Amino acid sequence: MTNWRLEYDPDVVRWLRKTDPQVARRIRDALTAVVRTGDPRIRGKALSGRLSGLWRYRTGDYRVICDIQDSRLVVLALDVGTRDHVYDQG
């Protein structure tokens, strides 16, 4: 199994600090589970259009937009929010 790492964009870190602690923990736990699978694409969904090349992970009412960087074995969380808003910001 390949050891992937999880990294967060500074805006995501700020969002997680400001949001409800239970929601933040649920999102962090879900992303940790993604990198532990050995293949982060198993649980995610590839995005299309202007977000092509990025991946989406759903956790309850929230979506996390990630960049899977195969060369570095990193899943980089770029944005997080509700479905209504997260796709508008990318």
The domain in which residue 63 lies consists of: 5-89
List the CATH number of the domain containing 38: 3.30.2310.20
How many domains is the chain partitioned into structurally? 1
3-state helix, strand, coil in the chain (%, to 5): 40, 30, 30
CA dist., res. 74 & res. 20, Å (int)? 26
pLDDT of residue 71: 96
pLDDT tens, position by position, for the chain (90 residues)? 679 999 999 999 999 999 999 999 999 999 999 999 999 999 999 999 999 999 999 999 999 999 999 999 999 999 999 988 887 754
Q: Positive or negative, the Cα torsion across 38, 39, 44, 48?
A: positive
CA dist., res. 22 & res. 42, Å (int)? 25
